[in-house]
């Protein structure tokens, strides 16, 4: 599925990129931004200390005060071809949609995830797809948050939700795992904190004769894929509002019901 980027975003990103540090022993690239610190990875080690994330984006960490910490958007899913395009992997697909629209390459491997770094407008962001399989997602997310010192209010987890109507979005600032094993793992690895945003994507309920596990590993029909295309566009817009104007404006946009004529399109 393809999502067209807003005109000028790629040009803005290119102008703001200040350099790339290549590591011969790892496929991961660290992009330097003005007044932004992602930290420097140790290519020989893919582990990080226990998560001690700051709960405030105003915390000054790294080279000095005033550095702008990146937003970390994490899409949940299962790696491998057999899971591609399934309901349980809509988090991965939302990350792919953001990456394509903003010209961010999500291809480097670090901390058990495929990661990409770039800008949305002039705001630094990281996009990640944990490769641990869904139920162990926290192993990757906990290390990313800890190593890059991501403020928890700038960690946004994107995942599928059986309890939301199909293709519906819901953005909340905090909450429990709601029975979702990927979220359960993340909360466990963040020392039981639940105070981080999450963008849920509705996949609907399974038919009566089908179990939940079989349903979430089921592929979408062509009609459902077309409907999800609109959902991903809406999710992309929500992410742009979030990093530029703040979480509250983005939540208002996402959680306000669409006009009836839009729903009937």
Q: Which residues are catalytic?
A: 88
**Which tokens is 197 given?**
């945003």
CA distance 53 to 152: 6
Integer CA distances (angstroms), 13 to 5, 201, 204, in order: 12, 28, 36
d(CA 162, CA 87): 9
- Give the residues across from 109 on adjacent strands: 114
Q: Can you read off the two tokens belonging to residue 42?
A: 């140790």
Sign for the pseudo-dihedral over CA of 210, 212, 213, 218: positive
* 52 C-beta neighbours (distance < 10 Å), count: 9
Of 80, 145, 135, which Cα lies nearest the Cα of 111?
145
Pairing of strands 113-120, 20-21: unpaired
């Amino acid at each position: 599925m393809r999502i067209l980027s807003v005109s000028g975003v790629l040009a803005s990103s290119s102008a703001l990129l200040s350099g790339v540090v290549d590591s011969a022993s790892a496929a991961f690239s660290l992009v330097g931004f003005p007044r932004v610190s992602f930290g420097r990875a140790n290519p020989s080690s893919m582990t990080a200390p226990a998560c001690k994330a700051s709960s405030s984006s105003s915390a000054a960490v790294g080279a000095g005060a005033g550095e702008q910490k990146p937003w970390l958007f994490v899409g949940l899913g299962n790696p491998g071809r057999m899971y591609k395009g399934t309901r349980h992997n809509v988090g991965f697909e939302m990350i792919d949609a953001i990456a394509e629209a903003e010209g961010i390459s999500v291809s480097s491997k670090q901390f058990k995830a495929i990661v990409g770094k770039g800008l949305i407008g002039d705001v630094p962001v990281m996009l990640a797809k944990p490769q641990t399989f869904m139920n162990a997602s926290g192993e990757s997310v906990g290390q990313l948050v800890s190593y890059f010192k991501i403020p928890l209010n700038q960690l946004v987890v994107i995942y599928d939700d059986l309890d939301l109507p199909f293709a519906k979005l819901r953005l909340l600032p905090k909450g429990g795992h709601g029975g979702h094993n990927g979220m359960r793992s993340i909360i466990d690895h963040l020392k039981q904190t639940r105070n981080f945003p999450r963008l849920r994507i509705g996949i609907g309920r399974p038919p009566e004769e089908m179990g939940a596990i079989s349903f979430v590993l089921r592929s979408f029909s062509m009609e459902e894929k077309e409907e999800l295309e609109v959902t991903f566009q809406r999710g992309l817009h929500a992410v742009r509002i979030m990093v530029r104007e703040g979480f509250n404006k983005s939540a208002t946009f996402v959680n306000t019901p669409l006009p009836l004529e839009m729903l009937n399109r």
